[in-house]
Structure 1
Amino acid sequence: MSRLLRGTFILTIATFFSKFIGMIYIVPFTYLVKLKGVALYTYAYNPYTILLSIATMGVPLAVSKFVSKYNALGDYNTGRRLLKTGLLLMTLTGFLAFIVLFTIAPFLSSRIVGGSGTQGNSQEDITFVIRMVSTALIIVPSMSLIRGYFQGFQSMGPTAVSQVIEQIIRIVFIIVGSFVVIKVFHGEITTAVGLATFAATIGAVGGLIVLLWYWKKRSPHLQKLYKENKVNSNISLAQMYKETITYAIPFVAVGIAIPLYKMVDQFTVVRALEQDGYKQSAAENVVAIVTQTAHQLVMIPVSLATAFALTLIPIITQAYVKDDYKALNKNISQTFQIVLFLTVPAAIGLSVLAYPAYGTLFSIKDMNHFGGQLLQWYSPTAILFALFTITAAILQGLNKQKFALLSMLLGVLFKMVFNEPFIHWFEGIGSLMATNGGYIVSVGLNLVVIKKYGNFSYKWVYRRTVLILLFSFIMAFIVWLVKIPLLAMFGGEYTKWSSIFTLIVGAGLGALVYFFLSYRSGLLGIIFGDRLAFLKKRKQQRG
């Protein structure tokens, strides 16, 4: 068990690190290619992510679950059969996905900008970058299968290292390639963005090389296990893939949700804003902010909260299997409380400090033109992102995966129906309102299902949420009061330095106020009781 927990911890840290550097790279990238280039990058990366999710079908986690099950029975050959046939299948689906995305690139580009693109990115630009990123689809599905196979042996190191190496290579290639094109050769933004999207392929090659190195290193051990095979399940390939796909569905539902929401924005925001009198370049700036720059800032507190709370999901599964509803209620309640305790103040605080936060990481000009305002409205969405991720994971623990998929589809349907009308009524903010509405639908359905099938009572979650909201709004009010004289010190306008200073002081003060109120009220001890007791015990031992 210690090996499994250690491996899970390593994989969690590696996943968080990969996601974190995958979020912060947007800052130097935006500096190099501007919002026009960020929008162009988004046009390519969103359809790629969706097709990748379809091509891989949640393969790493699904395959790890399948292999782990049969390994526990002493049947190592069944997992080996899945690997051999799966590699062929994943290569085929990846190649088909590549052909599909490469072929439909002109159609997608025509649906995104429609016109000639004289004031912004042209259809030819969008087609080019989509085709550049499509090549990664040939490699990534097979790589995902190998990762899942290693994880099935509770060997998380290969996945963790390959993820980190893949992400580092991708981001270095994005930044260095863009810098060389823009600053050294004074080339076009389209060329720089094309290289940035092709970085997905370069990174995938790096990740695959790492996995092959691990395979060669561990091959003698695997061969020994195959020879010691004790059981032959003799299940057909059809049964094998049916079982794997059943495991994969919930992972696809969670992974594909945000890209689908972004795709809806891709196909509607520019057209709707142009109809309302926006220039194409201004409309594309809104797309870039909503889908990339502001979005990446919003996802930071989401990643912190969900990475911490998802460690409780295996415990939830165990309690449900044993029909221990007392433990189940306790663990679900703790999961919700941890997520809300970390996400709510971060989201509300980011909303209050939206202008200095955007101005610090991106340009002051972009902050004044939509950036600060859109981030201010977008920040509370972090709470919904976190709740959807957690509720979908809890449904998986309760073996009610189909509801996670259903809720995701209903949420996306809401976004599709209301996105354009909301944009006409509220401009760029309307897109965020449609996103919030969609996630409220999804989270609401998930909460109902958890209550029904987990026999869960939300009483204590409601009570803790009231305190969390109260402390968060007190914190926000104090930060807002302090922000006014801080800005006045710099002449009442945001500059790069005034943004940095205001953000540091505001965020630091907000964190101190929130944690002081939480500590003095006892809320901190209630939510993190066991962990705080552990830390206190260690401190006493050292003393």
Structure 2
Amino acid sequence: MLAVLLISLKAGKRMSDKQLIRGTMILTASIIISKALGLIYIFPFKAIVGLEGLALYGYGYTPYTVLLSLSTLGIPLAVSKFVSKYNALGDYRTGHRLFQSGIVVLSITGVISFIALFFLADPIARHVLDPSDLQGNTIEDAVFTIRMVSVALLVVPVMSLIRGYFQGYGSMGPTAVSQVIEQIIRIVFILVLTYLIINVWQGTNGTAVGFATFGAFVGALGGLGVLLFYWLKRKHHIQRQVDASTVDNDIPLSAMYKELITYALPISFVGLAIPLFQMVDLMTFNSAMRGIGFNQGEVDMYYGAFTQAAHKLILIPVSVATAMSLTILPTVTKSFIHQEYDNLQKQITQTYQIILFLTIPASVGLVLLSDSAYAVLFGLGDMEIGAMMLKYYAPVAVLFSIFTVTAALLQGINRQKFAVIALLAGVVFKAGFNYLLIVWTGPGGAVWATAVGYAIAIGINVWAIGKYAKYNYIFLLKRLLLIGIFAFIMGAAVVAVRAGVTSVFPLTSWKNAFVVLLLSMIAGVAAYGYLSIRSGLAGKILGQRFRFLNKKKLGRQGDH
């Protein structure tokens, strides 16, 4: 998400400030809406198909996400930067030639990816599932699910390229509208069809989840339809600009794609972070769990709780925190280019602070309220498994956020290669130790492998930012200590209130779980909010967005 905005902002350097800000706001809003919809739908979907259904959905969607990223290689975002660069030089023809050839290239890579995933469905399913274990999901269900989602690869790469082309012209509206429409169509298709298959037509989970993953194709068709509508409206205007080009660099296609790939590869690798980690889980989690005595049905439930239910929950604070930090990151690039290192220090500090200020208390709260939070959102039926995985996984939200933002900061200072190196180091650790940690510690071992892998990646990113942005972490460590103290006090308040409320409302019904969660959250928010506002911490970190928080100052050092 951050990469989209950074590149669109870089691509629009020569646009008017007003147009650039408007475009950024539109794109930001669409991303937030799409992300929110993508998080919320999982709750009713899980109620329909259960944890085993979520696991089956993950078996299909994880390899699809990886192949989608590989089939596009970050090129759609890079196209935005490429087109904007040459448009600014008066050479509209070069960007248009790239667009025309890119449609062909990405259509071919999409077809190749579709064929690859379609025929790899059976080997993947046989590796993930045990054919001799009749409990849980079957190989046939997994093959069907993977093949149904693979069809989307025929459409999504081309659709992404068209979005990038519009963004290169500084037009964020087509991307924004198509993203939201695509997500709405996909989610409505998933929820309506799975409900009908399970509850009306008495179908199986395998059939329902297979058609749910087909929603990616249906949603993509909707998004593509929106883009084609915009294209038909604007193609004459675009063609006039192409014909009126004052410059023609006449760059060979090979040179164009070489330049494009230099933009695209770092974006592609960073965007692959979570899918690559989840791909390691797909290939190792089930076999490790079966190796320590779990049957396939139990494995499916743990896998669904880990990679879908808990994962979606922890992405809520991650998405909020990263969205809050978006407006700062573009200024990092400007300060770095102009060598305004004092401003750069402040901007990097502010970006880090927002992430830590929001994700640390959210993670602490999810750990302490994992049972009631899971029960309210996903039901009590499998609360024990879901709450356990959520408790392990919640702290990783902090790491997800820091990695995303540090990778974006490295892009801002043109040192993205270190983000690629960091990601590779983290994935290598995850791949090397995931199986062993699960065998040694149980299902939570997969979370430990993810956490350590991300910590390694963050360590490299943080070092690179310190070295190449000349960033001093001393002040940030002081702020981190203060946030940690406030989060600890907040946690004590949550534990005390939760203990009192559960003695009256035991977690035996959804209503009781809701009461426990609500009152405990109020106590936590009140404690953390009071401490951060009274100390002036909230005002220093979020005061520019929420003026009422600017009531206290932390002193001169707070202006760092």
The reply to whether TM is greater than 0.5 is: yes
Render the CA deviation track for 1:98-118: whole Å, top value 9, x for unaligned: 001011111111111133341
- In the TM superposition, residue 374 of structure 1 has moved relative to its aligned partner by 1.1
Is the contact between residue 117 and residue 123 of structure 1 (CA under 8 Å) also seen in structure 2?
no
- In the TM superposition, residue 532 of structure 1 has moved relative to its aligned partner by 4.4
- In the TM superposition, residue 65 of structure 1 has moved relative to its aligned partner by 0.8
Match of residue 379, structure 1, among 394, 397, 416: 394
Query: Which residues of 2 match residues 96-135 of structure 1 at below 5 A?
Result: 96-135=112-151
Corresponding residue number in structure 1 for 2:305: 289
| Residue 511 (structure 1) aligned with residue 522 (structure 2) | no
Corresponding residue number in structure 1 for 2:513: 499
Corresponding residue number in structure 2 for 1:142: 158
SS in 2 for 1:399: coil
One-letter code aligned to 2:176 = A
| Residue 252 (structure 1) aligned with residue 268 (structure 2) | yes
Is the contact between residue 356 and residue 494 of structure 1 (CA under 8 Å) also seen in structure 2?
no
One-letter code aligned to 1:185 = W
> Matched residues in 2 for 1:86 and 1:61: separation?
12
Corresponding residue number in structure 2 for 1:198: 214
Corresponding residue number in structure 1 for 2:230: 214
| Residue 400 (structure 1) aligned with residue 415 (structure 2) | yes
Is the contact between residue 135 and residue 201 of structure 1 (CA under 8 Å) also seen in structure 2?
yes
- Which 5+ residue runs of structure 1 have no aligned equivalent? 538-543
> Matched residues in 2 for 1:503 and 1:170: separation?
30
| Residue 347 (structure 1) aligned with residue 363 (structure 2) | yes
Corresponding residue number in structure 2 for 1:485: 500
One-letter code aligned to 1:421 = L
Corresponding residue number in structure 2 for 1:242: 258
Say if 1:437 and 1:536 are closer, same or farther in 2 by CA, change over 3 A: closer
SS in 2 for 1:232: coil
> Matched residues in 1 for 2:508 and 2:175: separation?
43
> Matched residues in 1 for 2:44 and 2:171: separation?
35
One-letter code aligned to 1:524 = A
> Matched residues in 2 for 1:141 and 1:409: separation?
24
- In the TM superposition, residue 291 of structure 1 has moved relative to its aligned partner by 0.4
Corresponding residue number in structure 2 for 1:71: 87
One-letter code aligned to 1:418 = F
Match of residue 525, structure 1, among 526, 539, 559: 539
Query: Which residues of 2 match residues 92-491 of structure 1 at below 5 A?
Result: 92-368=108-384, 370-490=385-505
SS in 2 for 1:311: coil
Is the contact between residue 250 and residue 392 of structure 1 (CA under 8 Å) also seen in structure 2?
no
- In the TM superposition, residue 387 of structure 1 has moved relative to its aligned partner by 0.3
Is the contact between residue 289 and residue 442 of structure 2 (CA under 8 Å) also seen in structure 1?
yes
> Matched residues in 1 for 2:486 and 2:322: separation?
21
- In the TM superposition, residue 50 of structure 1 has moved relative to its aligned partner by 0.2
One-letter code aligned to 1:111 = H
- In the TM superposition, residue 254 of structure 1 has moved relative to its aligned partner by 2.2
SS in 2 for 1:390: helix
> Matched residues in 1 for 2:144 and 2:25: separation?
40
Is the contact between residue 538 and residue 549 of structure 2 (CA under 8 Å) also seen in structure 1?
no
SS in 2 for 1:344: helix
Is the contact between residue 539 and residue 550 of structure 2 (CA under 8 Å) also seen in structure 1?
no
> Matched residues in 2 for 1:171 and 1:117: separation?
32
After the TM superposition, which parts of structure 1 deviate over 4 Å for at least 4 consecutive aligned residues? Answer: 532-537
- In the TM superposition, residue 535 of structure 1 has moved relative to its aligned partner by 8.4
Is the contact between residue 50 and residue 260 of structure 1 (CA under 8 Å) also seen in structure 2?
yes
> Matched residues in 2 for 1:186 and 1:454: separation?
60
SS in 1 for 2:249: coil
Corresponding residue number in structure 1 for 2:7: none
Is the contact between residue 14 and residue 160 of structure 1 (CA under 8 Å) also seen in structure 2?
yes
- In the TM superposition, residue 507 of structure 1 has moved relative to its aligned partner by 1.5
Is the contact between residue 66 and residue 244 of structure 1 (CA under 8 Å) also seen in structure 2?
yes
Is the contact between residue 320 and residue 328 of structure 1 (CA under 8 Å) also seen in structure 2?
yes
- In the TM superposition, residue 461 of structure 1 has moved relative to its aligned partner by 1.0
TM-score, normalised by the number of residues in structure 2: 0.94
Is the contact between residue 487 and residue 494 of structure 1 (CA under 8 Å) also seen in structure 2?
no
- In the TM superposition, residue 261 of structure 1 has moved relative to its aligned partner by 1.0
Cα RMSD of the aligned pairs, angstroms, is 1.4
Render the CA deviation track for 1:117-157: whole Å, top value 9, x for unaligned: 41111212111110110000010000000000000111100
Is the contact between residue 359 and residue 494 of structure 1 (CA under 8 Å) also seen in structure 2?
no
Is the contact between residue 507 and residue 513 of structure 2 (CA under 8 Å) also seen in structure 1?
no
Is the contact between residue 451 and residue 457 of structure 1 (CA under 8 Å) also seen in structure 2?
yes
> Matched residues in 2 for 1:384 and 1:535: separation?
27
One-letter code aligned to 2:504 = M
> Matched residues in 2 for 1:14 and 1:534: separation?
27
Is the contact between residue 280 and residue 431 of structure 2 (CA under 8 Å) also seen in structure 1?
yes
Say if 1:458 and 1:241 are closer, same or farther in 2 by CA, change over 3 A: same
| Residue 28 (structure 1) aligned with residue 51 (structure 2) | no
> Matched residues in 2 for 1:425 and 1:90: separation?
43
Corresponding residue number in structure 2 for 1:541: none
Is the contact between residue 249 and residue 401 of structure 1 (CA under 8 Å) also seen in structure 2?
no
Corresponding residue number in structure 1 for 2:13: none
> Matched residues in 2 for 1:342 and 1:154: separation?
31
Corresponding residue number in structure 2 for 1:55: 71
Say if 1:117 and 1:163 are closer, same or farther in 2 by CA, change over 3 A: farther
One-letter code aligned to 1:405 = V
- In the TM superposition, residue 233 of structure 1 has moved relative to its aligned partner by 1.6
- In the TM superposition, residue 185 of structure 1 has moved relative to its aligned partner by 0.4
Greater shift, 56-65 or 197-206, is seen at: 56-65
Say if 1:220 and 1:21 are closer, same or farther in 2 by CA, change over 3 A: same
TM-score, normalised by the number of residues in structure 1: 0.96
> Matched residues in 2 for 1:505 and 1:512: separation?
11
Render the CA deviation track for 1:394-438: whole Å, top value 9, x for unaligned: 110111111111111110111111111111111111110110010
Corresponding residue number in structure 2 for 1:540: none
- In the TM superposition, residue 236 of structure 1 has moved relative to its aligned partner by 1.4
- In the TM superposition, residue 60 of structure 1 has moved relative to its aligned partner by 2.9
SS in 2 for 1:86: helix
Is the contact between residue 65 and residue 152 of structure 1 (CA under 8 Å) also seen in structure 2?
yes
> Matched residues in 2 for 1:367 and 1:356: separation?
8
> Matched residues in 1 for 2:550 and 2:357: separation?
21
> Matched residues in 1 for 2:533 and 2:549: separation?
15
SS in 2 for 1:365: coil
> Matched residues in 1 for 2:42 and 2:523: separation?
27
| Residue 87 (structure 1) aligned with residue 103 (structure 2) | yes
% identical aligned pairs: 49
Render the CA deviation track for 1:277-335: whole Å, top value 9, x for unaligned: 11111111111011000100000000000111122221111111111111111111110
Render the CA deviation track for 1:46-67: whole Å, top value 9, x for unaligned: 0000000011111332111111
Is the contact between residue 129 and residue 197 of structure 1 (CA under 8 Å) also seen in structure 2?
yes
> Matched residues in 1 for 2:408 and 2:254: separation?
27
- In the TM superposition, residue 536 of structure 1 has moved relative to its aligned partner by 7.1
